[in-house]
């Protein structure tokens, strides 16, 4: 028997948290956060959480280390305040790309973060579109990994239709994601780009595997970071005969000069979600934002009432 539903939010994505609370028709919990002159954080929970079913919403986006530490401190404060169950609701799970050893003497930081969340006192984790599904196995507590693409597909259908549309995976690892979208776009054809890397964020060459001649190509990926892969993929598709290129990414990291790089590219539009905030976007960025807050709100409602979360997308 769970206690009352309570939702608290860190400072990483306040608009997203407000949208979730609005969809749940509840007021967000009160947190007083203090940052000292040396950068240290302290929080004080402003509501009684004893026995409560508490959800903490916090994306570990830039500055990732600060937001992660804030999340851990909030969880610890709730644990010490006798919260009944604590769920870390992390729309964007930072460090998820550091999920394996790619060379000797390097960390598996995604596993370290999982251990830190558990040690802080989280009883379960709610997140969205982990970079690799096997990250769920890094936890010894329940993990619900939501998917944003089902909420984005209606927009894609309405905007681009399903005729002469090809779904493109930017690498072999994203084939399952591309196939998922292609199936729900009335079984649109899909293609894959064979990508050769020379290092992190460095792509040497790309080759299109599949027929994209005269097609509207939708590049589907989970993360848009520097934009280098997307831009090179778009240029490769145009050279292969694509009529137009649109990028569809769940998490808009958009680091460095990615926005100017994307503006100068053949990408007609970048469709993302609001798991990471970007209040400074304008029309020249050609970025459309689909809110994932309703999906998170429904998942929170179902977890609280012990209903199935997996049935959200069946």
Q: List active site positions.
A: 195
**3-state class (DSSP) for residue 215:** coil
**Strand, helix or coil for residue 169:** strand
Instruction: Collect all residues with Cβ–Cβ distance below 8 Å to 157 and sequence separation of at least 6.
Output: 185
Of 192, 277, 218, 308, nearest to 14 by C-alpha is 277
Beta strands in the chain (DSSP E): 5-9, 31-35, 41-45, 53-57, 85-90, 124-128, 143-146, 165-169, 190-199, 202-209, 216-224, 244-252, 267-273, 287-290
- Contact present, 209 and 189 (Cβ < 8 Å): no
Query: How many Å apart are CA 182 and CA 90, to the nearest integer?
Result: 27
| Letter string b/e over residues 146-173, b meaning 16 or more CB atoms within 10 A of that residue's CB | bbbbebbbeebeeebeeeebbbbbbbee
Q: Give the count of beta carbons closer than 10 Å to the beta carbon of residue 63.
A: 12
Query: Beta 287-290 vs 53-57: how paired, if at all?
Result: unpaired
Residue 252: Cβ-neighbour burial (10 angstroms; 0-12, 13-18, 19+): buried
């Amino acid at each position: 028997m769970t206690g009352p539903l309570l939702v608290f939010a860190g400072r990483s994505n306040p608009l997203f948290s407000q949208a979730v609370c609005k969809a749940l028709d509840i007021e967000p919990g009160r947190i007083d956060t203090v940052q000292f002159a040396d950068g240290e954080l302290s929080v004080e929970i402003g509501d009684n959480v004893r026995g409560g079913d508490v959800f903490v919403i916090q994306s570990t986006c830039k500055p990732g280390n600060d937001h992660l530490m804030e999340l851990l401190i909030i969880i610890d404060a709730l644990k010490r305040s006798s919260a009944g169950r604590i769920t870390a609701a992390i729309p964007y799970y930072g460090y998820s790309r550091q999920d394996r050893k790619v060379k000797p003497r390097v960390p598996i930081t995604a596993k370290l973060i999982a251990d830190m969340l558990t040690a802080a006192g989280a009883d379960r984790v709610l997140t969205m579109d982990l970079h690799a599904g096997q990250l769920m196995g890094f936890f010894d507590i329940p993990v619900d990994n939501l998917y944003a693409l089902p909420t984005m597909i209606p927009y894609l259908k309405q905007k681009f239709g399903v005729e002469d549309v090809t779904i493109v995976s930017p690498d072999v690892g994203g084939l399952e994601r591309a196939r998922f979208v292609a199936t729900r776009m009335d079984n649109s054809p899909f293609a894959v780009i064979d990508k050769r890397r020379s290092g992190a964020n460095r792509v040497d060459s790309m080759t299109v595997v599949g027929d994209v001649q005269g097609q509207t190509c939708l590049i589907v990926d989970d993360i848009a970071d520097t934009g280098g892969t997307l831009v090179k993929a778009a240029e490769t598709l145009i050279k292969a005969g694509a009529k137009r290129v649109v990028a569809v990414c769940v998490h808009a990291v958009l680091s460095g000069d990615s926005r100017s790089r994307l503006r100068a590219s053949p990408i007609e539009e970048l469709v993302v979600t609001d798991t990471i905030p970007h209040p400074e976007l304008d029309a020249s960025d050609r970025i459309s934002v689909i809110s994932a807050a309703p999906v998170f709100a429904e998942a929170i409602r179902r977890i609280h009432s012990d209903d199935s979360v997996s049935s959200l997308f069946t």
